[in-house]
Amino acid sequence: MALRRIRSPMDPETAASLAVGDTVLVSGRIVTGRDQVHRYLASGGESPLDLTGMVLYHCGPIVVGDAGSHRVVAAGPTTSMREEPYQADVIARFKPGAVMGKGGMGERTSKALVEHGIPYLHATGGAAVYLASCIERVEGVYLEEFGRPEAMWVLCVRDLPALVTMDGKGASLHRHILDRSASMLKRVLESTLTPPRT
Amino acid sequence: MDSSKLGRSMYELMMRTSTELPEDVTCALEKAREREPVHSTAANTLDIILKSAELSRANRLPICQDTGVPFAVVRAPQAVDTAEITRALVSALKTLTIEGVLRQNCVDPVNGSNSGDNTGPHVPQVHYEPSEGPIRVDFMLKGGGSENVSTQYSLPCDELRAGRDLEGVRRCVLDAVFKAQGRGCAPGFISVCIGGDRASGYLVAKKGLFRKLGEANPDVDLARLESVITEEANMLGIGPMGLGGNTTLLGCALNAAGRHPASFFVTVSYSCWATRRYSVELDETGGVARWL
């Protein structure tokens, strides 16, 4: 468990070296993509930019202003699990350096992360203004026809904090918490309430 | 009513809801922060959350980029022109969307297009309840992630060994918290409707989120069950954002609704840590008389 400063796009060695429990500060160019982008990319669509080594961020930001003066007001992560049906294919086709979102992902994505030696980064859900304050500027936007929250925003970020919760070795903090809470729930439910007064 | 005054009141109500985390929620998060060991993931997560909420308040920026689904409950005497209130709500919604205080969150489910102004069929939801007055408007912005983990059970439920009693309710609610894991942006606030029908269950549960955290349930049995559920949910160790920790729930509100003899629904409305709702009382001119 270490604090690591990483740059996006990142090289395969850096991606592979990140392990569950590492706190990272992401700088460089990252790109957003959520439901529509994932569906599009997984079903044969071409990416309007090279995603190799990039941090692909599950995020539908609030952006104000027009081209040239875009400003991101709020940019927290969205629930990654919705991209589960597409993520493995997107990773295989476009070779991003990491996937970032919230809530973790399923077994199929976990397998893809192992195959390509890349991590899943967990950003704090709802901390939208704090995370937006780590965005230095908007470099560009693609696929805006999907609607602003669903478009691909290329963002230049500095020291955006996240936690590695799934890694290229197959470890998953989410799986661990799920298993532990399942056995705790079982224990809690062994006892029953004393019935209320009648 | 003075329509420009009413318009300003609705604008301020929505602005505050999107940008200022309510005091009871901030307090509950600060208490949760104290329960976590220093430098733990849970403590760091809560630090980022509290810092972000503070930045939002200071700069009047939306707490979360998902500014949710607008939901309003208006209580007004029969003589009040409710259409005028709806117009004021819709107009404030559109203005705040242009200003970037609300995200464009209304998508056509058939063709996938975004209306761009947060209005559409059945959006926004405005519910009217006749009252003696004064006019009161409750407003909530509830995010999609937390809405997605909200759920409804029909008892008896064999799988959960949940019967048609409060023990059954307890088992359902804990199951819902477990299944949500961190995906509803824990630590959450859950409101539950016990009884009702499928439609009223969701409505009553959602309205229950207007209750302030820490406010006691007047029914002693329900009050007792609320603390049992909160305590047991926090034993699960799911923690802030589902990354592990001592606080999974900030609170639980139980509400009862009459049920059909054949039905026993338990409906759980999950609200993320960024529970955003405010209530105002209006004077005769449409101005804000007081914040509740």
pLDDT of residue B240: 97
Provide the percentage of residues in chain A whose pLDDT is more than 90: 87
Dist CA B199 CA B82 (whole Å): 23
> Is this prediction's pTM over 0.90?
yes
Residue A198 pLDDT > 70, yes or no?
A: no
**Mean pLDDT across the stretch B56-60?**
96
Give the start-to-end residue ranges of the domains of chain B.
Answer: 3-20+63-143+276-291, 145-271
Residue A65 pLDDT > 70, yes or no?
A: yes
The tens digit of pLDDT for each residue in A169-180 reads 999 999 999 999
The pair phi, psi for residue A121, each rounded to 5°, is: -105, 135
Dist CA B92 CA B119 (whole Å): 11
> In the beta sheet, which residues pair with residue A98?
A55
pLDDT of residue B67: 96
In a domain, A137, yes or no: yes
Return the residue of A nearest to B161 by Cα.
Answer: A189
**Mean pLDDT across the stretch B256-280?**
98
Tell me what ipTM this predicted complex has: 0.91
Mean pLDDT rounded to a whole number for chain B: 96
Provide the percentage of residues in chain B whose pLDDT is more than 90: 97
Provide the percentage of residues in chain A whose pLDDT is more than 70: 97
Dist CA A62 CA A59 (whole Å): 10
The tens digit of pLDDT for each residue in B131-186 reads 998 999 999 999 999 999 999 999 999 999 999 999 999 999 999 999 999 999 99
In a domain, A193, yes or no: no
Residue A17 half-sphere exposure toward CB, CA atoms < 13 A = 11
The tens digit of pLDDT for each residue in A120-135 reads 999 999 899 999 999 9
Return the residue of A nearest to B42 by Cα.
Answer: A124
The answer to whether A58 is a known catalytic residue is no
Dist CA B225 CA B211 (whole Å): 16
In the set A38, A58, A122, A174, the catalytic residue is A38
C-alpha angle A162/A164/A167, rounded to 5°?
150
Dist CA A189 CA B176 (whole Å): 13
In a domain, A198, yes or no: no
The residue written with tokens 């207007």 in the block is B210
Q: What confidence category does residue B269 fall into, taking pLDDT thresholds of 50, 70 and 90?
A: very high
Residue A186 pLDDT > 70, yes or no?
A: yes
Contact B51 A130 (CB under 8 A): yes
In a domain, A113, yes or no: yes
Residue A88 pLDDT > 80, yes or no?
A: yes
Dist CA B14 CA B99 (whole Å): 12
Q: Best of B29, B47, B49, B66 to disrupt the A interface by mutation (most A CBs within 10 Å)?
A: B66
Distance from CA of A185 to the nearest CA of B (A): 6
The tens digit of pLDDT for each residue in B88-140 reads 999 999 999 999 999 999 999 999 899 999 999 999 999 999 999 899 999 99
**Mean pLDDT across the stretch A95-111?**
96
pLDDT of residue B133: 82
Contact B238 A181 (CB under 8 A): yes
A142 touches chain B (CB under 8 A): no
pLDDT of residue A194: 74
The pair phi, psi for residue A69, each rounded to 5°, is: -130, 25
Set of chain A residues whose Cβ sits within 8 Å of the Cβ of B143: 126
User: What letter would DSSP give residue A150?
Assistant: G
Dist CA B166 CA B171 (whole Å): 9
Range of the domain at A27: 3-188
A90-122: buried (b, 16+ CB within 10 Å) or exposed (e) per residue? bbeebbbbbbbbbbbbbeebbebbeebbbbbbb
Dist CA A151 CA B29 (whole Å): 33
A197 touches chain B (CB under 8 A): yes
Set of chain A residues whose Cβ sits within 8 Å of the Cβ of B274: 126
Return the residue of A nearest to B273 by Cα.
Answer: A126
The tens digit of pLDDT for each residue in B19-29 reads 999 999 999 99
Q: Which CATH architecture has domain B3-20+63-143+276-291?
A: 2-Layer Sandwich (3.30)
In chain A, at which residue ranges do the beta strands (DSSP E only) sit? 3-8, 23-32, 55-57, 62-64, 71-74, 98-101, 120-122, 135-142, 152-166
Set of chain B residues whose Cβ sits within 8 Å of the Cβ of A147: 104, 107, 113-114, 116
For residue A86, give the H/E element and its range. Answer: helix A84-94
Dist CA A102 CA A122 (whole Å): 5
Instruction: Tally Cβ neighbours within 10 Å of residue A139.
Output: 14
Contact A126, A139 (CB under 8 A): no
Return the residue of B nearest to A59 by Cα.
Answer: B65
CB-nearest to A126 from B144, B175, B273 is: B273
CB-nearest to B62 from A74, A78, A192 is: A74
For chains A and B, CB pairs below 8 A equal 165
Q: Best of B48, B50, B65, B166 to disrupt the A interface by mutation (most A CBs within 10 Å)?
A: B65
C-alpha angle B226/B64/A66, rounded to 5°?
165
SS3 A67: coil
pLDDT of residue B244: 97
Query: Please, which residues have CB within 8 angstroms of residue B228's CB and are 6 or more apart in sequence?
Result: A193, B170
CB-nearest to B49 from A60, A81, A127 is: A127
Return the residue of B nearest to A80 by Cα.
Answer: B183
For residue A185, give the H/E element and its range. Answer: helix A173-188
Q: Which CATH number characterizes residue A20's domain?
A: 3.20.130.10
User: What letter would DSSP give residue A125?
Assistant: T
Which DSSP string do the residues of chain B spell out, in sequence order?
Answer: --HHHHHHHHHHHHHHHHHS--HHHHHHHHHHHHTSPTTSHHHHHHHHHHHHHHHHHHHT--SSS---EEEEEEEE-TTS-HHHHHHHHHHHHHHHHHTTSS----B-TTT--B-SSS-BTTBSEEEEEE-SSSEEEEEEEE-HHHHHT-EEEESSBTTTTB-SSHHHHHHHHHHHHHHHTTTT-SSEEEEEEEES-HHHHHHHHHHGGGSPTTPPPSSHHHHHHHHHHHHHHHHT---GGGSS-S-SEEEEEEEEE---TT--EEEEEEE-SS-EEEEEEE-TTSSEEEE-
Count of structural domains within chain A: 1
Set of chain B residues whose Cβ sits within 8 Å of the Cβ of A64: 99-100
